[in-house]
Structure 1
Amino acid sequence: MNVLIVSDNHGDEEILATLKERHHSDVDAFIHCGDSELPANEKSMEYFRSVRGNCDFDDKYVEERVESIDGVNCFITHGHLYNVKMSLMNIIYRAKEVGASIVCYGHSHIASVEEANGIVLINPGSIRLPRLRKDKTYAILSIEQSKKITVRYYTTEGTEVKEMSFETILE
């Protein structure tokens, strides 16, 4: 199963439409980690499993969610409630509390993927205002039946950022 993960588009509807159009036939689900700055019922947010970021004011968004994706629990949140700019420990603890093996979050605008304490942490970066790199990025998570996890990053133009590729097997 393939899942497209985005965050922090800060009002840019066009990029969401572009990504849905580009990947509609090769991904099974879409996740938005918050700060869309769009109403929850906005057409460009359709199909996204989304959460509320610190710049989202529509109370129809939830603060966090747990989604089972191909039998793997994914914890989705923006990250501001867990102080992800300071440390990832709070979000790791919350993932363990909700029984998640994967965390999808945003807030920092810094694209990253790592494994810590048995949890895979994915920040797709920002598709509008990236930090620590010039490329506006999003991620595609692949989950195989063998519990093999692959994360690939792409620029908003669709070019793979090969140096950021990540693979692991979940326990």
Structure 2
Amino acid sequence: MKILLFSDSHGYTLNMVKAAKKYDDIDMIIHLGDFLKDILKLGEEVKKPVYEFVAGNNDWAKDYPTEKLIVVEGKKIFITHGHLYNVKNDYKRIISKGISLKADAVFFGHTHKTEEFYYENMMVLNPGSISVPVESDRPTYCIIEIKEGRIVSKFASPVSY
């Protein structure tokens, strides 16, 4: 199972389209909020089997969830934008939520910074921003592979210099 993970597109879909068209073997695309309408637009341009998304602090649609627990290949993955968990200050609340859900992984956005670490055996990952990166001049996303019972990540950019 291969997942393309985006966050914080903020209305700029070109980089998402570039990334999605780069891979023929993507099984799922996840958008972690801040312009979830962008994932709906991407779905019109790039047909992939499964899309998952959550609303962020810049998504004013009340009909969409701000968090989800999804199960992929037997792995529990908690997805949220992160703003409701105060991730710009620390990760205590989001880690606590992941633990309470017995999640294998927590994916979040909001900070526009790439981040990956493990708390006990739980992966905690932020793909950065596909449109407005904070820590570099390159937008970022993440490829997640679930194989042989493991979750493996790789950060990438649709832009090469």
C-alpha displacement of 1:37? 5.5
| Residue of structure 2 equivalent to 1:9 | 9
Matches within 5 A, 1:125-136: 125-136=128-139
What TM-score, normalized to structure 2? 0.88
State whether structure 2 residue 31 is matched by structure 1 residue 28: no
Secondary structure of 1:21's partner?
A: helix
Residues in 2 aligned to 1:117 and 1:53: alpha-carbon distance in whole angstroms: 27
Compared CA separation, residues 39 and 3, structure 1 to 2 (3 A): closer
CA RMSD of aligned residues (A): 1.9
Secondary structure of 1:115's partner?
A: strand
Secondary structure of 2:37's partner?
A: coil
| Residue of structure 1 equivalent to 2:112 | 109
Residues in 2 aligned to 1:111 and 1:22: alpha-carbon distance in whole angstroms: 20
Structure 1 residue identity aligned to 2:14 = E
Runs of 4+ residues deviating >3 angstroms: none
Q: Which moved more, 1:25-34 or 1:69-78?
A: 25-34
| Residue of structure 1 equivalent to 2:155 | 153
Matches within 5 A, 1:21-100: 21-23=21-23, 25-36=24-35, 38=37, 42-45=40-43, 47-100=50-103
C-alpha displacement of 1:45? 4.8
Is residue 36–residue 53 contact of structure 2 (8 Å, CA) maintained in 1? Answer: no
Q: Which has the higher contact order (CA 8 A, sep 6+)?
A: 2
Q: Percent identity?
A: 32
| Residue of structure 1 equivalent to 2:47 | none
> Which consecutive residues of structure 1, in runs of 5 or more, have no partner in the other structure?
160-171
Secondary structure of 1:122's partner?
A: strand
Residues in 2 aligned to 1:45 and 1:99: alpha-carbon distance in whole angstroms: 30
C-alpha displacement of 1:39? 7.0
Residues in 2 aligned to 1:158 and 1:124: alpha-carbon distance in whole angstroms: 17
Is residue 67–residue 79 contact of structure 2 (8 Å, CA) maintained in 1? Answer: yes
Is residue 138–residue 159 contact of structure 2 (8 Å, CA) maintained in 1? Answer: no
C-alpha displacement of 1:50? 0.3
Is residue 5–residue 138 contact of structure 1 (8 Å, CA) maintained in 2? Answer: yes
C-alpha displacement of 1:132? 1.5
> Which consecutive residues of structure 2, in runs of 5 or more, have no partner in the other structure?
45-49
Compared CA separation, residues 43 and 133, structure 1 to 2 (3 A): closer
